[in-house]
Chain A
């Protein structure tokens, strides 16, 4: 007679099987599955245009990764900045993007990404705020992030050939007095911190689909060569633009 009875063996097999299934489900739903919420701008498009507003910050105090740099996207309805990098826009539409850049400068790993590409006119419009006053707006097409303290992140959609370096404040003092919480809001006067306002326009493709976007600045503090961490995590320095029909 077997030392282990048939029911016991069957029960062990079933438990082991369920444990494996539970592990797979946990990985799928708890690790892979959760994605940032999507700010849907499609309903707010008018006359073939839609306005999207984002923000970059030097930290993410609204999460358990406070030392990670991140993007926020403004909710088109509440006007609050939500911690997400996913947004939806209609197809074949002109998207007017405004990015409030509250982070400091970091050199680009590949200087090629210092050139604006894929926007209307291949330029971005930049205003600098030094904590007291705004500079005059100017159209810029190329940034030398090594020679100058000029770039904090990029907003790039490689499949569309879109690349926009996000201008940074340019002085040591400004970089040392960045907004201390995130998102930077009126409530704690953080919006008076030095920052930039970057505006650019691009056209969404006529083909609906998901277009991923990312930052090309190695801004993952504490990770080898600045890669990893927020650079490889949806909701921080990478996201997705859903183009809807």
Chain B
């Protein structure tokens, strides 16, 4: 009881509200934030994922750098306050008095609400602008993408040449457990190799012929779901000659983890030579493929053989067995 009486008589203003602490904390926070922001933006920023191998990847890397830079003062402020409290506001040995009661502080609360609201709203505006204008993270996919990279719709879906203002069309087809790619502007051949020309806008038309997959060309900054019967569109312009990894980012079965391959970005002339080579190499199987469509329909078969028909095999409705088969779901 004696202790309670003595605490009631103690000074109301606790040490944590001293002007000296406030000045030190504020000064340290400002200095550390400036240093931290410079380090994040200038030192870490150039190495932010997913890199800058395409315009979409570079845009995403910029977005991540901006977000990390904005978050830096917040993180530093929290950690600094936490560390300061641990170091200087420790309870002294033998001091069992209660802390001063909190009655709220309009100035602090207003500053907090205004500050956090400003940050969140600013990020919302920034994110919206990035989503629409320069192809930030997540932009430009879906059946009706809002972003087209400033490139007009393909002038021709049956031919293409470099720098022709005619966006290159590449259909990405997911299937358990491999990716295949179809090039409608080069005779519609389908191949297991994803090859792109450097500095040329590309439109990916992404679909699946079985379950849901997700096309993720990580270093190109392209990721879009591959859904059966759906065409998801994504755009990019690779700007670096070299290889990039393609993975499936949607759990799609037992060998989902093995569903990856390596794509290649090459010069325009090499790309044109590659398309010529592939077109020739795959000519015999290209004529067996279904007519090119934005959703890959394996049941669109013009020439169903007599034996297949007699055996009750059918492509109708996606079924591959006799529709009367009692085991067919």
Say yes or no: A212-B255 contact (C-beta < 8 A), given A110-B173, A158-B177: yes
Say yes or no: A110-B284 contact (C-beta < 8 A), given A149-B305, A214-B255, A225-B210: no
Contact indicator per residue, chain A 215-229, by CB within 8 Å of chain B (1) or not (0): 010100111111100
Additional pairs, 15, CB under 8 Å, beyond known A109-B175, A115-B282: A67-B327, A105-B313, A111-B288, A111-B298, A115-B285, A146-B288, A147-B305, A171-B307, A214-B255, A221-B325, A222-B329, A223-B329, A226-B320, A227-B176, A231-B176
Shortest Cβ-Cβ A-B pairs, 7 listed: A149-B307, A222-B327, A115-B285, A111-B288, A147-B303, A142-B284, A226-B320
- Contact of B303 with A172 in the complex, beta carbons under 8 Å: no
Give the chain A neighbours of B288 by CB distance below 8 A: 111, 114, 142, 144, 146-147
Give the chain B neighbours of A142 by CB distance below 8 A: 284-285, 288
Whether B315 is near chain A, meaning CB under 8 Å from some CB there, is yes
Q: Which residues of B contact A (CB under 8 A)?
A: 173, 175-178, 180, 190-192, 209-211, 253-255, 258, 261, 282, 284-285, 288-290, 296, 298, 301, 303-305, 307-308, 310-311, 313, 315, 318-321, 325, 327-329
Whether A159 is near chain B, meaning CB under 8 Å from some CB there, is yes
Give the chain B neighbours of A218 by CB distance below 8 A: 210, 320
Contact indicator per residue, chain A 163-206, by CB within 8 Å of chain B (1) or not (0): 00000001110010000000000000000000000000000000
Cβ 8 A contact of A105, one of B176, B178, B255, B307: B307
Give the chain A neighbours of B175 by CB distance below 8 A: 109-110, 216
Give the chain A neighbours of B190 by CB distance below 8 A: 110, 112
- Contact of A175 with B192 in the complex, beta carbons under 8 Å: no
Whether A106 is near chain B, meaning CB under 8 Å from some CB there, is yes
A142 to B173, CA, bound (A): 21
Whether A141 is near chain B, meaning CB under 8 Å from some CB there, is yes
Cβ 8 A contact of A112, one of B180, B253, B315, B327: B180
Return B256 CB to nearest CB of chain A, in Å.
10
Give the chain B neighbours of A175 by CB distance below 8 A: 307, 311
Say yes or no: A227-B289 contact (C-beta < 8 A), given A110-B175, A112-B180, A147-B305: no
Give the chain A neighbours of B310 by CB distance below 8 A: 172
Say yes or no: A149-B192 contact (C-beta < 8 A), given A106-B313, A158-B178, A231-B176: no
Interface size class of A (residues with CB under 8 A): 35 or more
A234 to B321, CA, bound (A): 23
- Contact of B289 with A111 in the complex, beta carbons under 8 Å: yes
- Contact of A110 with B209 in the complex, beta carbons under 8 Å: yes
**Least CB separation from A67: chain B residue:** B327
Contact indicator per residue, chain A 136-147, by CB within 8 Å of chain B (1) or not (0): 000001101011
**Least CB separation from B304: chain A residue:** A146
Q: Which residues of A contact B (CB under 8 A)?
A: 67, 104-107, 109-112, 114-115, 117, 141-142, 144, 146-149, 156, 158-159, 161, 170-172, 175, 212, 214, 216, 218, 221-227, 231-234, 238
Give the chain B neighbours of A117 by CB distance below 8 A: 192
- Contact of B320 with A106 in the complex, beta carbons under 8 Å: yes
Give the chain A neighbours of B255 by CB distance below 8 A: 212, 214, 238
A228 to B301, CA, bound (A): 23
- Contact of A225 with B320 in the complex, beta carbons under 8 Å: yes
Return B253 CB to nearest CB of chain A, in Å.
5
A221 to B67, CA, bound (A): 51
A212 to B260, CA, bound (A): 12
Give the chain A neighbours of B296 by CB distance below 8 A: 110
Give the chain A neighbours of B307 by CB distance below 8 A: 105, 148-149, 170-172, 175
**Least CB separation from B308: chain A residue:** A149
- Contact of A112 with B308 in the complex, beta carbons under 8 Å: no
- Contact of A214 with B177 in the complex, beta carbons under 8 Å: yes
